[in-house]
Structure 1
């Protein structure tokens, strides 16, 4: 009964939603029109008729595009600054340049982040000159000598800089999500800011994008190397790169990765980076997107007063190579430790082409997560472990990718043939006539949900800019799809899907292409964290309008009624649209009954007397309604969502399945095989090993919820009928309902009619309790073929105390989370020991459970001893920096002030509070406590709760590279077998050994 919805094409790959071809423009002229307006301040802007997003598109005199839209759900603004330039334009001899430039834009300017620019710039020029010498040198000894000089001069330069000053300023605004990304055709910078801080943010960003200053260059370059290593440890990225290389033998899509080559990263040019910035980071090649609680007229005026001052110049984008048609299948192989899979990709034309519309429809008919050909024929029938497809569209080309993971008894070629077989069904028109309309309705439903979210809508706007799209075509796009007939689609499929694909076999084995990167031994640079530039002083003096926090009165915000049988219904009105969500909640889960999760997932593959499993999926898809069940440790929910008008029919279908599901022995045997293969696949994923397996073992030891599972042999012995009866029997237990949507009376009426219950509901079975292990003195290691080593430090603390929530919130902001935190600055910015490093005091989610302190480092194995010393030093002796503390305090307060709990969040937040034994919105107490906190208070919290903590240390890495002598200083090192870690196979002896 669990519903897994496929990520739709414009959610997964935002670039795919836009169309700009002339044919489409003519088609939609009478339906959707772009109109010109002038506001009260004299600024002209464009709108599109029938646009549900209410976009106003401005163009400043210097060419900057400004996308504005209102969303008043919270007093925040999602911001993006987008540049039409990415890795496609990297010089062939310096790939990775655009991405590295993105990193450097965070380093400040001649005003931001400097203590004495006149002195600092002399050193930066020396460093630039040395890098040119380094690039030109041909022998390694000379390069090493020059690098040592770069390291020496960089240390001197750091005396005149302030690390992360930009990050400190945006943090002081209360910004969240501060980040950036680079891809083929774009570099995009993002922040989500409180609405009252817009003017300060605009002032800061306009200065940031006015010039480029390459300070702290060699330490950040080492961080990029760590990012490069993470890519080498990511088999998905390897498959992706191999597929693109086959699809695009000439175009940069396939010939230049965004991260760049290892050799190019070792030989950067600061001159080339400056040239790239000067060429492409100009107003007419950039766009600003602001979606949130804004006043249109006031906002555009402020944008013009800041970004309107940037000087423009003509931008010429290079002409990129064209590709010859692919006339026969191209095969490639990729090796790595993760489970085997296969990828098949067909090259398409790019955004605005006929291919975009038709491939979009083909993709959804093949795999929409519910009723597509692949969904029903391969996944529902459990013919493969899993399979799907998704399209991507870029400026010059696109591609439609099919992926499949084999069952334990399948070859990759068998999965390939099955995927191609589904394409053949599409080409023969073997899908029902109603599918096109249902697909378009599904896409409309997803778009409606997307447009409710400020961040998702803002991303759609910046993609429109990056891909030269007229928003008019986005508004009309789905209507264009409805005009495509089944005959049209079948004809297209027969022309498009031929022997013109690239197939990538992902096999398990050693990857011999791995680039080994040595530890350069960088001298830690000075951070000057307690100093600030004149710019920061002036910035801190700028005033913003006051923004007061708002807290929720849950008694008023959550309404209540009852069903005829007495079941309580909590409900919240949805004022925005005609979508609904309904949850039937049981306050019991896998801890109450070990079989519950197993039974719930099995129901997914069953039908009833009235419908087969496949027919049920089709009926739900026709209605635009989704059903699913979730089972956690202490809660199970049966849920329904979609179009409100179809709630009664959807509920009737769900109740029919719930009441009349028929056991199927063959489906159960396949289900057990799928579980078995899933376990084998899981233990090949390093993320699952660290964050699931090792994390759980560090918390519980051997007796953990994760390890309390049935063996495959035990699963095979179970009677499928017992599992079906368990799900049917859920109705006899106590339950409650949460409804979000319009017309609660209609929802209650539907429940009264369809959701039949016994007169007396029974209590839940007693839950199994799992004892938390004491931490300290243990190092748990799992061997894995990887370049990096990843470490997790975990310390058990006292039981949850709500009085600690304020201090822990401020501690995390100051010490361990974010780009300007102490941990990030010390380990990445100063010492270049990791790409990712963070720490947190984690409050328990349940009353009586312990809090935890944890820290994470992902680094090259040969840097691990240094990284461990650095992290443990910080966890034992927290550096005190008053300026940084004040910024973190401001940030914590402003984030609470700008936070609004609304929509379904009201209910789920209240649920989480109740689990902690709290019956009200305690953010008011947290806010008031933080307001009065001092550095001394934070130090006391650190000394009492963190300073003397004892850690279990979990490590995953290549045993040939890991320094076990260094690890042994942290405790007794034990290597854990992965099967033992997850308890996938029973063993007479514990599969762990001391090292």
Structure 2
């Protein structure tokens, strides 16, 4: 399905989902109204009739909004604390403030994160005063002197502070997804907690939001600057910022980046941050969202006893500038090392307007991932490399964005004109009448799928709050869309889409607007991980109700039956709705046959003797059925999914395509050209170079699976009929089926009718085995135009052993992942050497393969030598912190206890276990093992499996900035050719970008 990028549209799509009712059972066409209730304790709340989500919306006396919804599928609660405070409200002279404040809210209060706040506060006041001097000083040398003093006083203050106490407490609950984000109109704090830990979570959060203390300020500021640098290395973000600047020449949407400007980040004001917190972080400007396994009456009482005690204050958001109409195209250019692309954007009215409804429909008619105008006329016909569109709606305005990537030797203007031509088709009404209802059904189908996830539902609630939306209007939304006629939409398109757009050309080339910053020379601050505040000591004494883990007997949870032809059918009933997922599984893939994935990709562009490719896409879309043919390294899946009532028709259509696909030489030639351009584009992505190209080379050397590909010349020589025959012959090989849905008997009957098997099935071809190389003594470097440098330390470990999985999981929690991990604390919190740093002991996915140890750092090139030394010291000498170990152990056990493997995940999890030679739910053994582990045991695991390992070092960065001499101390430095890493042909560089 189409990936909806807009947060708001995501909520529109999903706000009516129902985990307990099927699409056909949900009737939102009845009258929708708000009903008011009072619970047994006297708390008033609102519900909406025919609301499939079951929302209870409370408003406490202090104005705090509380969104509660119940889903008992797993003993967890998705929590959001949403504040109507984003970058739109940053002072013009202090952009980035709201985002930086978000970081600082994790640093504690006068009770959390300190040994003696009275003494610490004296020093924090000095630091604040010094920052005000620093901000007002224009002489660069004097600014440096002031900064040295800030660093000096910060050292003294850090001796009193205690790093990461908030995260230690939250982690000890077994929380997942601890994070936050800031955007134009919002700052949102996130956690997913076990149900039994709600009381402790509320205690921590109510304390956290009661007061702001800006401790460990200058080290966190440096981390934010590293985040700023990562943005400078992201061409997509730069193009997005240029688009917003063009759309909004006056409004903060286009004039104030959430991350802020380089100059403002260098000159912060702690006073301004405090003022912002005091103004906006008040209960009547905040919503709490809790979705999951909860009791309504008990939960609202607990929220009122904590957050309900905060004092209400008047909140006035600033009046923001209005924009004049755009009367002619506005052109922007952005340069960077990645592949070229073009985007167009039309400014829209705000959320909640009639224009939002019109554009939601227009967007889906243009691109829905299947049968939209852009899907069929551009992507399906391979007229461009790729194209799509998506809308975003905000409080004051919105935008409808179109994007496209060129084929080889295609200009960006040609892509732009093709995008505009599809808009013209919409304006002329050149789409079939049935599409109007089909896209609304598609939205309903998506909402049902997506709201089986509590996080998606909770996201819809907080978005409604941020955007001042009544939930009643969200529930009625799709019914409102049904009222729009085709003619009404066409008339709207003609009035809306004119020359009133911004076009952004992302071109390949040097970005001359990069802001670079010197390493400020921060002295590492004290972490005091062996200390605890009184708040934490008291917090640890609070007992939560026990939550016992539940483990699965896979062999009884996954039922078995057979088709008439003897195919094994594994199945699991869908208890929630009438959606199904049917997969025919072949235990062979790319490693068995290099042409397998090539053939699977080609099939997507083919028609049959009955349907053109475009007609086929429409037929599937009419049914609300998605089909797929996917090939991995060792598996191939042929499947369909959608509404159960259309399973038989969908399977018949898939089998028709499978049996009757017609090869087309012209289509194949375009397909090969697309592969060639895709390769050219992929090798320009730094993440792909590091995590795919260099990682595979570091593991396998010259004979990696990544390099085992056909050259473009070889692809051109292949007869497309051979690929079609290969897909058709696939059904002659051994296969099995997995079905998730209701009424397995009807599903099997459909398989018997449509999926015919002839004779004895064939064995699979022999699988190619790739030999893992020993690691150590090598530095593989790729030169890339970027501000930061990124590196991975990679060591081959022992062969996979299921007995190590418990210790490795605990080790990763304690040492390498999360805000309170040893690596994060040492590299980022103490030394400010990187925005992102983590490490892991990674267990193999298949029996007989090796485990790997890796560590990652993303930092400024001028900090790399110090960052390398710090990371290698940690990977050699694991710090032993008893309290931190106990917290990591408690967190790991609680996560296992709260985990529930449900629905189709039962089957897919078991598939993964069997690849490792495991036939049972090994979480039980892991749980018991971890429960009995000591810090000494973990130290032994480290000494036996990590300490002393030799690493291949994988580095990507700007050769002009990276200290190659320092890298040579880690091993022999070999500058890698990107084409060689991926086994691409040099002649591909001639493709015009």
Q: TM-score, normalised by structure 1?
A: 0.97
Three-state SS of the structure 1 residue aligned to 2:93 is helix
Cα offsets for 1:295-337 (capped at 9, x unmatched): 1111111111111111111101110000000000000100000
Maintained 8 Å contact 1:14/1:463: no
Partner of 1:24: none
* 1:416-455 equivalences in 2 (<5 Å): 416-455=416-455
Partner of 2:952: 952
Partner of 2:206: 206
C-alpha separation between the residues in 2 aligned to 1:167 and 1:334? 39
Three-state SS of the structure 2 residue aligned to 1:93 is coil
Tell me whether 1:112 sits opposite 2:112 in the alignment. yes
Partner of 2:22: none
Tell me how large the CA RMSD over aligned residues is: 1.2
Q: TM-score, normalised by structure 2?
A: 0.97
Tell me whether 1:8 sits opposite 2:10 in the alignment. no
Partner of 2:717: 717
Maintained 8 Å contact 1:778/1:971: yes
Partner of 2:70: 70
Partner of 1:991: none
C-alpha separation between the residues in 2 aligned to 1:544 and 1:30? 43
C-alpha separation between the residues in 1 aligned to 2:544 and 2:493? 57
Partner of 2:48: 48
C-alpha separation between the residues in 1 aligned to 2:8 and 2:724? 34
Partner of 2:732: 732
Change (3 A) 1:578 1:18: closer
Tell me whether 1:923 sits opposite 2:910 in the alignment. no
C-alpha separation between the residues in 1 aligned to 2:477 and 2:949? 57
C-alpha separation between the residues in 2 aligned to 1:842 and 1:161? 34
Partner of 2:193: 193
C-alpha separation between the residues in 2 aligned to 1:593 and 1:865? 44
Tell me whether 1:768 sits opposite 2:772 in the alignment. no
C-alpha separation between the residues in 2 aligned to 1:100 and 1:10? 24
Tell me whether 1:813 sits opposite 2:800 in the alignment. no
Three-state SS of the structure 2 residue aligned to 1:99 is helix
Shift of residue 6 of structure 1? 1.1
Partner of 2:493: 493
Shift of residue 762 of structure 1? 1.0
Tell me whether 1:933 sits opposite 2:944 in the alignment. no
Change (3 A) 1:681 1:601: same
Maintained 8 Å contact 2:9/2:360: no
C-alpha separation between the residues in 2 aligned to 1:861 and 1:9? 32
Partner of 1:632: 632
Maintained 8 Å contact 1:210/1:310: yes
C-alpha separation between the residues in 2 aligned to 1:55 and 1:970? 57
Three-state SS of the structure 2 residue aligned to 1:303 is helix
Shift of residue 985 of structure 1? 1.3
Tell me whether 1:696 sits opposite 2:696 in the alignment. yes
* 1:611-650 equivalences in 2 (<5 Å): 611-650=611-650
C-alpha separation between the residues in 2 aligned to 1:269 and 1:18? 40
Three-state SS of the structure 2 residue aligned to 1:420 is helix
Partner of 1:23: none
Partner of 2:246: 246
Maintained 8 Å contact 2:13/2:444: no
Maintained 8 Å contact 1:15/1:394: no
C-alpha separation between the residues in 1 aligned to 2:730 and 2:451? 36
* 1:350-369 equivalences in 2 (<5 Å): 350-369=350-369
* 1:654-693 equivalences in 2 (<5 Å): 654-693=654-693
C-alpha separation between the residues in 1 aligned to 2:478 and 2:238? 34
* 1:822-901 equivalences in 2 (<5 Å): 822-901=822-901
Maintained 8 Å contact 2:370/2:376: yes
Change (3 A) 1:291 1:166: same
C-alpha separation between the residues in 2 aligned to 1:680 and 1:13? 32
Maintained 8 Å contact 1:787/1:861: yes
C-alpha separation between the residues in 2 aligned to 1:18 and 1:603? 31
Maintained 8 Å contact 1:18/1:351: no
Shift of residue 42 of structure 1? 1.1
Mean CA deviation greater in 65-74 or 87-96: 65-74
Cα offsets for 1:731-785 (capped at 9, x unmatched): 0000000000001111101100000111211110010000001100000000100
Partner of 1:543: 543
Cα offsets for 1:489-548 (capped at 9, x unmatched): 000000000010000000000000000111001000000011110000000000100000
Change (3 A) 1:971 1:12: farther
C-alpha separation between the residues in 2 aligned to 1:737 and 1:245? 51
Partner of 2:755: 755
C-alpha separation between the residues in 1 aligned to 2:641 and 2:30? 34
Shift of residue 355 of structure 1? 1.0
Maintained 8 Å contact 1:412/1:505: yes
Three-state SS of the structure 2 residue aligned to 1:757 is coil
Partner of 1:22: none
Maintained 8 Å contact 2:628/2:638: yes
Partner of 2:261: 261
Partner of 1:592: 592
C-alpha separation between the residues in 1 aligned to 2:310 and 2:452? 33
C-alpha separation between the residues in 1 aligned to 2:308 and 2:535? 20
Shift of residue 29 of structure 1? 11
C-alpha separation between the residues in 2 aligned to 1:229 and 1:432? 47
Shift of residue 8 of structure 1? 3.3
Partner of 1:508: 508
C-alpha separation between the residues in 2 aligned to 1:71 and 1:598? 42
Cα offsets for 1:347-387 (capped at 9, x unmatched): 00010111100011000000000000000000000000000
Partner of 1:469: 469
C-alpha separation between the residues in 2 aligned to 1:151 and 1:495? 58
Maintained 8 Å contact 1:6/1:369: yes
Mean CA deviation greater in 93-102 or 64-73: 64-73
Cα offsets for 1:89-133 (capped at 9, x unmatched): 000000000000000000000000100111100000000000000
C-alpha separation between the residues in 1 aligned to 2:443 and 2:283? 34
C-alpha separation between the residues in 1 aligned to 2:637 and 2:278? 55
Shift of residue 16 of structure 1? 5.6
Shift of residue 940 of structure 1? 0.2
Shift of residue 450 of structure 1? 1.6
C-alpha separation between the residues in 2 aligned to 1:17 and 1:262? 37
* 1:13-412 equivalences in 2 (<5 Å): 13-14=9-10, 31-412=31-412
C-alpha separation between the residues in 1 aligned to 2:489 and 2:609? 34
Cα offsets for 1:183-205 (capped at 9, x unmatched): 00000000000000000000110
C-alpha separation between the residues in 2 aligned to 1:260 and 1:73? 41
Count of equivalent residues:
976
C-alpha separation between the residues in 2 aligned to 1:16 and 1:925? 43
Q: Which runs of 5+ in 2 are unaligned?
A: 16-27, 988-993
Maintained 8 Å contact 1:135/1:268: yes
C-alpha separation between the residues in 1 aligned to 2:95 and 2:31? 44
Change (3 A) 1:9 1:977: closer
Shift of residue 986 of structure 1? 6.8
C-alpha separation between the residues in 2 aligned to 1:432 and 1:200? 56
Partner of 1:993: none
Change (3 A) 1:933 1:135: same
Maintained 8 Å contact 1:16/1:393: no
Change (3 A) 1:315 1:943: same
C-alpha separation between the residues in 1 aligned to 2:338 and 2:986? 23
Shift of residue 261 of structure 1? 0.2
Maintained 8 Å contact 2:11/2:459: no
Q: Which runs of 5+ in 1 are unaligned?
A: 20-27, 988-995
C-alpha separation between the residues in 1 aligned to 2:529 and 2:387? 50
Partner of 1:990: none
C-alpha separation between the residues in 2 aligned to 1:620 and 1:690? 38
Maintained 8 Å contact 1:426/1:493: yes
Shift of residue 9 of structure 1? 6.1
Maintained 8 Å contact 1:282/1:312: yes
Three-state SS of the structure 2 residue aligned to 1:92 is coil
Partner of 1:484: 484
